[in-house]
Amino acid sequence: MSSTAKDYPASTSIVVEDVSKTFSLRFHRTFKQVTVAKLRGQRTREDFNAVDHVSFTVEQGESIGLMGLNGSGKSTLLKLVNGTMRPDTGQVLTRGRIAGLIATGAGFHPQLSGRDNIYLNAAVFGLTEQETKDRFDDIAGFADIGKHLDSPVGNYSSGMGSRLGFAIAINVDCDIFLADEVLAVGDRPFKRKCMEKMEEIRDSGRTLFYVSHAAASVRKMCDRVLVLDEGRLVFDGDVDEGLAFLNDEDDADPRKVRAGEEELDEELGADV
């Protein structure tokens, strides 16, 4: 980790300092529509902050649940941490290798087979060809998509793409693992397998950054919750308090959430 502002202790894993990311919402598509709108004095675009002056620090080994309603900026923030986006203002600092699944099918070539995409996606994560060969059986076994491994990824369902992407990501040696709604697709047995694997990642001392709407799984996986609202960080703290802050009264009651494994099944990947 390097910083021009100040030095951070070796235990610091992620630093987000006053970060903002602005996008433009365009009201018209064609040049003619834009021209007519301008002649009429109408607005042709509107800028909005997907992430709005957000700051926080994550220590190595922390398990962070990132929550908020749809459109609150969770995925954008995760992409800023991952480095696939750059902030317009502020800075994001990370220590070590980052792996994880931030979008179903991200990094896949739709015309290549699943087998070829394993090598392609693993290379994006920094694995050598030999390292990928050594882990290929583990990746294919975890994905468990059978004969479809030799079919073009463009023909995969969202669940199959998620299976393959997650299987690759968990076989990368990393210091920070990012998971964006990884349990939103796929059947229950696969979701359970993902949860078990992420528990292994968490217990290994790696930093876990987990985006989910599922209150029970966040409580099971995380020791801290960040809540975004319209791009702003509005809560940073205890998991139960964070869930209560989201006004989800049933899920915020620990007695109800811990009532049994059946409720966790129902909530895995569920939307708010």
CA within 13 Å, CB half, 137: 1
pLDDT over 70 (residue 267) = no
Count of helices and strands (H, E) across the chain: 11, 9
The answer as to whether 238 is a domain residue is: yes
Domain boundary (173, 199, 219) is at 173
**pLDDT (tens digit per residue) in 4-25:** 445 778 889 999 999 999 987 6
> β-strand 98-101 against 207-211: which pairing, if any?
unpaired
Residue-wise pLDDT tens digits, 230-239: 999 999 999 9
Q: Is residue 249 part of a domain?
A: yes
In a domain? residue 209: yes
Quickly state the pLDDT bin for 47 (edges 50, 70, 90). Answer: confident
In the predicted model, what is the mean pLDDT of the chain?
Answer: 82
Strand partners, 14: 58, 94
The 8-class DSSP code of residue 246 comes to T
Q: Identify the CA nearest to 221 among candidates 243, 196, 250.
A: 196
Same-domain pairing of 195 and 87 = yes
- Residues 84, 119 share a domain: no
58/148 same-domain check: no
Q: Say whether both 139 and 160 belong to one domain.
A: yes
DSSP secondary structure string, 29-63?
-SHHHHHHHHHTT---EEEEEEEEEEEEEEETT-E
What is the pLDDT at residue 28? 58
Alpha helices in the chain (DSSP H): 31-39, 74-82, 114-124, 129-143, 158-169, 188-203, 215-221, 239-245, 249-252, 254-257, 261-267
Measured on CA atoms in the order 63, 68, 73, 74, is the torsion positive or negative? positive
203 and 167, same structural domain?
no
Express each pLDDT in 174-204 by its tens digit. 999 998 876 655 677 888 888 888 899 899 9
Query: DSSP H helical segments within 104-179, as ranges?
Result: 114-124, 129-143, 158-169
The widest CA-to-CA distance across the chain, in whole angstroms, is 63
Q: Does residue 3 register a pLDDT over 60?
A: no
Instruction: Give pLDDT, residue 93.
Output: 94
79 and 13 housed in the same domain: yes
Relative to beta strand 207-211, strand 224-229 is unpaired
Residue 219, in any domain of the structure: yes
Q: Is the pLDDT of residue 242 over 70?
A: yes
User: What pLDDT, on a 0 to 100 scale, did the predictor assign at position 63?
Assistant: 94
Number of domains, the chain: 2
- The pLDDT of 152-164, averaged and rounded, is 87
Q: Which residue segment(s) compose the domain that 147 sits in?
A: 108-173
